[in-house]
């Protein structure tokens, strides 16, 4: 039972620090890896979901998808925040 408590406390602490230090805020994501010619030719992203809301109000499923879009849009994108973008209702 004690091991189980320790495991869950450790899991909570890891989650807390991942949330605190994983929040990039106003910083942008480095896309230098995705600018390599070999990576550009393959154009393959993982299925890992870690949503990013960009300055164009589009939610990209992960940093790879965001970087390929940023490169295609000639580096005009920036990160608005981590997570899904809010959709605004048209009046």
Contact 52, 68 (CB under 8 A): no
Q: Is the dihedral of CA 46, 47, 50, 53 positive or negative?
A: positive
Say what the pLDDT of residue 14 is: 61
Q: Residue 81 above 80 pLDDT?
A: yes
Say what the pLDDT of residue 12 is: 61
Contact 29, 66 (CB under 8 A): yes
pLDDT band at 91; cut points 50, 70, 90: low
- Over residues 12-69, the pLDDT tens digits come to 656 554 544 454 455 678 888 888 888 877 778 888 999 999 999 999 999 999 999 9
Q: Residue 6 above 90 pLDDT?
A: no
CATH classification code of 2-82: 3.30.60.30
Break the chain into its structural domains and give their ranges: 2-82
């Amino acid at each position: 039972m004690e091991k189980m408590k320790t495991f869950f406390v450790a899991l909570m602490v890891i989650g807390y620090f991942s949330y605190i230090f994983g929040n990039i805020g106003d910083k942008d994501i480095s896309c230098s890896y995705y600018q390599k010619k070999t990576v550009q030719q393959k154009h393959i992203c993982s299925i890992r979901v870690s949503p990013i809301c960009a300055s164009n109000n589009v939610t990209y499923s992960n940093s790879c998808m965001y970087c390929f879009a940023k490169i295609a849009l000639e580096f005009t994108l920036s990160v608005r925040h981590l997570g899904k973008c809010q959709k605004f209702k048209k009046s």
